[in-house]
Amino acid sequence: MNVEGDFRYVDPGSFDECIRFLEYLEEFDGEWDDAFLNWVNVSQKWKEEYRVSPNGDWLPLNFVKKNKGFAARASLFKQGGPLACELARHPVVLNVNDWMFCHGGLLPHHVEYGIERINKEVSNWMQCSSEDIDDTDLPFIATRGYDSVVWTRLYSQDSVERTRRSWDLSSIIAEQTLKSVGAKGMVVGHTPQTRGVNWYTLF
């Protein structure tokens, strides 16, 4: 979402951090790797100080501050930008031993399409300059639609709101998916679990 320029769910403090990081980057003469590694410690100290002071700069009428923060985040996350390229190094679907990790969930048609192909297409899209690529080239199966890898909520719907049939169906789909990739489990995020973590019994 950030690489697309969709900042709807970004905390105000994160915009402020982007402003500060760009200022910090200037101290390293644009040496991204060094600045990125050092920022971990610097940002920790800054965040502790930030907790003490309220988000006064982010009051609704402070348009200058908001625009500066938006521009800073956009420049870092844009296609081909430094943070987009950093994210592009990480897969959308990760296999660690016999466990699968993904944001929304892995479904049978994702496996059929090809996990390696999905990861490669998303990575290429993030690294490519926005001037060189059309928006339609954004990998649909990974990032678009209710059943995409990052948006599906099949495995993360609240258990209290689900019927037994729906629960069983999700378990069957999870089992089919895991068998097709030779994995024993899958870890997903995407949806807050206010009543505890959802889990499915494999048949």
Give residue 172's Cα distance to chain centre.
26
Please check whether residues 103 and 82 belong to one and the same domain: no
Domain that holds residue 27: 12-87
> Do 83 and 167 lie in a common domain?
no
Residue 183 and residue 97 share a domain: yes
Residues 51 and 109 in one domain: no
Q: Judge if 97 and 180 occupy the same domain.
A: yes
Q: Identify whether residues 183 and 114 lie together within a single domain.
A: yes
Which tokens belong to 142? 């990974």
Same domain, 71 and 113: no
Same domain assignment for residues 105 and 67: no
Is residue 136 included in any domain, yes or no? Answer: yes
**76 belongs to a structural domain:** yes
Task: Provide the β-strand partners of residue 102.
Answer: 93
Whether 30 is covered by a domain: the verdict is yes
Cα atoms in the 13 Å half-sphere on the side-chain side of 182: 4
43-81 core/surface letters (b: 16 or more CB in 10 A; e: else) = eeebeeeeeeeeeebeeeeeeebbebbbebbeebbbbbb
Q: Quick check: is 31 in a domain?
A: yes
Q: What is the 3-state secondary structure (H, E, C) of 119-136?
A: HHHHHHHHHCCCCCCCHH
Same domain, 102 and 182: yes
Q: Note whether residue 41 is domain-resident.
A: yes
Q: Are both 178 and 99 inside the same structural domain?
A: yes
What is the pTM for the complete model shown? 0.81
Residue showing tokens 């973590």: 197
CB atoms within 10 A of CB 3: 24
* Claim to verify: residue 72 and residue 158 sit in the same structural domain: no
**Count of the separate structural domains present in the chain:** 2
What is the SS3 assignment for 94? strand
Based on the domain organization, do 78 and 122 belong to the same domain?
no
Per-residue pLDDT in tens (0 to 9) along the chain, 203 residues: 899 899 998 988 889 889 989 988 888 887 888 888 888 888 887 777 766 555 545 555 477 778 899 999 999 999 999 899 999 999 999 999 999 999 999 999 999 999 999 999 999 999 986 566 555 477 888 888 889 999 998 888 776 667 888 888 889 999 999 999 999 999 998 877 777 777 766 64
Residue at 3 is within a domain? no
The alpha-helical segments, DSSP class H, found in the chain are 12-26, 32-52, 63-77, 82-87, 108-113, 115-127, 140-143, 164-181
